[in-house]
Amino acid sequence: MERLRCMIYPLIGAGLVLGSAQRTFNDINRFDLVISELYPDPDAKSSIPASEFVEIYNRSGKTLNVRGLKLTDGTSTATINTDLELGVDSFLILCAVSNTAKFTQFGKAIGVTGFPSLNNDGDHIKLLNSDEKVIHSVAYDLSWYKSEIARQGGYTLEMIDTDNACSGEFNWAASGDISGGTPGRINSVTASNPDEQAPALSTIEIIDSSKIIVYFDEAVDSIAGVAFASYSFDDPDLKLNSVYTDEAYSKRFELVFLDGLKPGTTYQLTASSIADCSGNIIGSHNTVSFGLPGKVIPGDLVINELLFNPPPGGTDYVEVYHNGKSVIDIGKIFLAGKNTAGALSNMIPLAAAGRLLFPGQYLLLTENKSWLKDNYVVKDPGTLNELRSIPSMPDDKGYICLLDAAGKIIDEVAYSEKWHFALLNSRDGVALERIDYTVSGNVPDNWISAASAAGFGTPGYQNSQFRADLRAAGEFTLEPKVFSPNNDGVNDVAGLVYQMPEPGYMGSITIFDAGGRPVRYLLKSGLLGLKGTVNWDGLDEKLQRLPMGSYVVLMEIFNLKGKVKKMKKVVVLAR
């Protein structure tokens, strides 16, 4: 990237030369040119023109003639019909013919007939040479902005490192320039951002009993990606007939079998010896399950957790749990609310067609997964699915349901803020958790606030108040009995592991020294889950080291039914 920084300034604005080309368009190969900036959602509040554009950057090290290049989104295709030479490390702005004059002030701009519309919330844009071969492609979505403000419009999407052309969202961000974008010049977010992460299998889409689509989390080399030897199955009777993709580096491969998949059978596919654009070879994240989807009946999918009153700047979420026995194509399941007349409205598919959910798995639906990961513990990002919108969920009360493709209700919840734990200081940012899958979602006593010890929400994993894990009533243990907080990685904390008899308990945990003086308050009237762990690091309230010796851990629990219990244990702090 140092070469780019040193050379870019004298070349900007001078990199395009009219006249005969030193290189013809047939010499343009994969990644010689890259799409380096996009403006899908223009806004007049920004200083740059409120019109869509695509910026192209020449990283090939040679001058290239751009005649014959094509830009397409699969619906509209624009072709450059002008002989123009794009110099080394130079930029070209592509836009609609009517907007050409707006962008010439920023550098060389070409207006093209049929310029594809850039969808605000996501699109797949490809740059092709005259032989229809893909030079570079970008499949962006709203999460690429990494900024709640920027995703509202008025900011471009910029590539971070042009030497890492196919790492997707990890190599893109919203423009940090005060004008909202950097058309025709070096991107504001430019930095070294090498791809050191191995590719991983992402999902499988079932087309029919003999055809599936395999998706990787980033583009991989298609030579290995279409090789039969790159795929193996746990069922030796499953044989490949063909593997196909239409790009030199692709995230999507179509696999066709000689014989069809068997209903009711779950298969495992393992990929090997497949590398990404940077040469990283697929590692341990190389196995994914698939199978023919079965029929969905009420109770197979349940609404398991709701956040309908997020803090300011936050977003609602809905968690779905697979409580059935068969594979489900959640692209054919819909989330819906009700309008003011009480009719079902805002029906939105849970995911793209073909995404599978297996028994025991969770799916977390949100409009902003980046915000969610920043504000809650997300143990498995793969459970998150960002939707363009979810049905409105008012803070006081509302309705949410799951429907099948025929419009039949699979599960529904008419929730109320009164279902929250009554002693909460604030309900903002506190999720409601379902206690028992087998009890109706419309029973108020089957819902309770997520435990404070769990961060007031458990998006994408087992609820903190889930009843099935009930064990010993109102007890706690301390492990280890002797701990030494010296950061050697061995027994550095004392872990208080508690278990409650039922949801709804509040708790306080206090550490006392040998003289009976309180030295640390680990928890003050916090809402407890059915089970959890609270750690003590050997520090006092001022986060100062305490001397060696014996300490008493007192846990006090109570609930709204008047149940109260005090428990204490001794732990030894050593050095």
* Coil vs helix vs strand at 143: helix
End-to-end C-alpha distance for the chain, whole angstroms: 49
Distance CA 252, CA 205 (A): 10
Give tens-digit pLDDT for 120-153: 989 999 999 988 889 999 999 998 999 989 999 9
Residues 422 and 483 in one domain: no
Read out DSSP for 533-550?
A: EEEE-SB-TTSPBPPSEE
Give the H or E element holding residue 124: strand 122-128
Same domain, 457 and 506: no
Residues 86 and 54 in one domain: yes
Residue 420 domain-assigned? yes
pTM greater than the 0.75 cutoff = no
In a shared domain, residues 458 and 440:
yes
Instruction: Write out the residue range of the structural domain in which residue 213 sits.
Output: 201-290
The token duo for 563 is 């149940």
The length of the chain in residues reads 575
Q: What is the pLDDT of residue 333?
A: 95
For 427-480, write each residue's pLDDT tens digit.
999 999 998 887 889 988 889 899 888 899 999 999 987 754 333 357 888 989
CATH number at residue 556: 2.60.40.4070
Domain tally for the chain? 4
Residue 132: CATH number of its domain? 2.60.40.1260
- Residues 57-95 have pLDDT tens digits of 999 999 999 999 999 999 999 999 999 999 999 999 999
> What residues contact residue 118 under an 8 Å CB cut-off, 6+ apart?
38, 39, 40, 41, 52, 54, 73, 125
Same domain, 368 and 492: no
The predicted structure's pLDDT at residue 18: 35
Biggest distance spanned by C-alpha atoms of the chain: 91
The CA radius of gyration of the chain, in Å to the nearest whole number, is: 28
The answer to whether residues 147 and 55 belong to one domain is yes
Token duo for residue 89? 């490390």
Which of the listed residues 116, 139, 174 is the one where a domain comes to its end?
Answer: 174
Retrieve residue 97's tokens.
């013919």
Assess contact for 530 and 464: CB atoms under 8 A: yes
The reply to whether 249 and 373 lie within a common domain is no
Q: Give dist(CA 437, CA 414) in Å, integer.
A: 16
- ∠ Cα 400 403 406 (to 5°): 150
Average pLDDT over residues 191-208: 92
Q: For 472, phi and psi rounded to 5 degrees?
A: -60, 145
One domain for residues 321 and 347 = yes
Q: Closest Cα partner for 89 from 195, 6, 188?
A: 6
